[in-house]
């Protein structure tokens, strides 16, 4: 299996983006996804910046994939989507069916991100005929569903699994971060910059429940399949995706790399912002975490 670094879901400063991808070049990861998938107002990196970063990572031996928005609302966003799809150098991750249509019409092979919602082998076959060569299992699906799809999956298609990070659950036309600060979406003052891992929402009982990330709603707990490596191999997974967070990324990558090499790995549960979960993979409630009888209890926020 290979390791991939997913697209950054948050709004980080330009300096932080440059520093992060400089470090990624030296990490034991095979594939790096670049680009904005959440909000088109996040423009500290322009198209040329992403392309320059892609060239540097390719020179470092990484496979680079350009990711697209998951929710398109304006002609300006479609214009950028067309530009990404027509880049001519790097494979594209389609996170919306509009990207699938553009890439298919141009006979360009592509990756289907988790928000394309491939729930069965019939859908996978249709998209494979359209040019899909890799797909990311939707976050809410688990091992048994993947195994069932794999039995009827077309040959030559890679499966990627979201294995670490806060899970993108929903998108909205409203900006929740702006609303939390009593600001209109059109004058959000880029408050997402204040939350490099999103804004965690707790229940009235004080338990972490969701994360606000602009127009995106995420899980508060981080998906953590580090202890499920053998299980994912048996299910036919080709790539494990690590979604970036503001802290501890190198330690997380090294833990997954060690596990893939059957070496002792750090317990990454303590590296998540508020805790881990693996419920969806085990066909349980998504917030659940179970491994050898252990749960999230007693693991402090970091």
d(CA 103, CA 116): 14
d(CA 245, CA 247): 6
d(CA 119, CA 279): 18
CA angle 233, 139, 215 (to 5 degrees): 145
Q: Is there a contact between 206 and 143 (Cβ–Cβ < 8 Å)?
A: no
d(CA 234, CA 236): 5
Q: How many CB atoms lie within 10 A of CB 193?
A: 15
Q: What is the 3-state secondary structure (H, E, C) of 182-234?
A: CCCHHHCCCHHHHCCCCEEEECCCCCEEEEEECCEEEEEEEEECHHHHHHHHH
Predicted local distance difference test score (pLDDT) of residue 290 = 66
d(CA 137, CA 146): 8
Q: Is there a contact between 213 and 192 (Cβ–Cβ < 8 Å)?
A: yes
Both structure tokens of 40: 């088109």
Give start and end residues of each alpha helix (H) in the chain: 14-24, 47-59, 75-85, 97-105, 121-130, 143-152, 176-180, 229-234, 249-260
- Choose among 271, 237, 286, 279: nearest CA to 2: 237
pTM for the complete prediction?
A: 0.94
| Domains of the chain from N-terminus onward | 2-168+223-266 (3.20.20.70)
Walk along the chain (302 residues) and give the pLDDT tens digit of each residue: 999 999 999 999 999 999 999 999 999 999 999 999 999 999 999 999 999 999 999 999 999 999 999 999 999 999 999 999 999 999 999 999 999 999 999 999 999 999 999 999 999 999 999 999 999 999 999 999 999 999 999 999 999 999 999 999 999 999 999 999 999 999 999 999 999 999 999 999 988 999 999 999 999 999 999 999 999 999 999 999 999 999 999 999 999 999 999 999 999 999 999 999 998 999 888 788 866 444 443 344 44
């Amino acid at each position: 299996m290979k390791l991939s670094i997913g697209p950054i879901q948050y709004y980080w400063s330009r300096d932080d983006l440059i520093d992060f991808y400089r470090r990624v070049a030296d990490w034991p990861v095979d594939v790096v996804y670049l680009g904005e998938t959440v909000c088109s107002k996040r423009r500290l990196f322009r198209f040329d910046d992403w392309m320059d970063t892609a060239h540097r990572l390719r020179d470092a031996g990484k496979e680079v994939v350009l990711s697209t928005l998951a929710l398109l609302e304006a002609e300006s966003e479609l214009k950028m989507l067309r530009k990404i799809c027509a880049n001519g150098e790097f494979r594209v991750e389609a996170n919306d069916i509009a990207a699938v249509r553009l890439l298919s019409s141009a006979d360009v092979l592509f990756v289907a991100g988790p928000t394309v919602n491939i729930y069965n082998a019939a859908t996978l076959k249709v998209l494979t005929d359209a040019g899909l060569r890799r797909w990311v299992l939707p976050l809410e699906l688990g091992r048994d569903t993947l195994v069932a799809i794999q039995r009827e999956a077309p040959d030559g298609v890679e499966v990627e699994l979201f294995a670490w990070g806060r899970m993108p659950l929903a998108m909205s036309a409203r900006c929740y971060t702006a609303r939390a600060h009593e600001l209109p979406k059109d004058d959000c003052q880029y408050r997402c910059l204040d939350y490099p891992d999103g804004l965690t929402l707790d229940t009235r009982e004080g338990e972490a429940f969701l994360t606000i990330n602009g127009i995106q709603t995420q899980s508060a707990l981080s998906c953590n399949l580090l202890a499920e490596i053998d299980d994912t191999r048996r299910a036919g997974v080709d790539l494990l995706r690590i979604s970036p967070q503001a802290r501890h990324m190198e330690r997380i990558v090294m833990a997954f790399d060690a596990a893939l090499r059957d070496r002792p790995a750090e317990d990454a549960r303590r590296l998540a912002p508020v805790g881990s979960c693996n419920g969806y993979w085990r066909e349980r409630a998504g917030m659940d975490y179970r491994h050898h009888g252990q749960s999230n209890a007693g693991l402090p926020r970091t």
